[in-house]
Amino acid sequence: MNIEDLDLGDVVFAAHTIIDDGSMPDSEEGAVLAEEGARGVIVMKGYVEEDPSRSVFLVRFEDSELNLGRPIGCWTEDLMVPELVS
């Protein structure tokens, strides 16, 4: 499955540990926003205005107690999709 084909409500996983690059309000640069493998849900999908071919996803990842965190902006390379079992 292609990340670009995903939509609101779809489940994704963090492809790597996602670190705040300084762009998250009320967070410190360098803070861990999502651990590698964390499960999340897409809550919004858009694109970069300067480059419409570049998608950005707002994802709410679960914490260690399975609570959804605040939305985090993610690039396609930040996300993995669960493999479908047949």
Give the tens place of pLDDT for each residue, 35-58: 999 999 999 999 988 988 889 999
Cβ atoms 46, 8 nearer than 8 A: no
- Give the CA distances from residue 22 to residues 6, 41, 65, in Å, rounded to whole numbers and listed in that order: 27, 22, 25
Can you tell me the mean pLDDT for 61-82?
A: 93
Which carries the bigger pLDDT value, residue 49 or residue 86? 49
Nearest C-alpha neighbor of 11 from the set 54, 60, 47: 60
**The two structure tokens encoding residue 49:** 């205005």
**More confident site: 53 or 14:** 14
What is the Cα–Cα distance from 75 to 45, expressed in whole angstroms? 10
What is the pLDDT, as a whole number, of residue 31?
Answer: 92
- For the chain, percent of residues with pLDDT exceeding 90: 69
Whole-number pLDDT of residue 85:
45
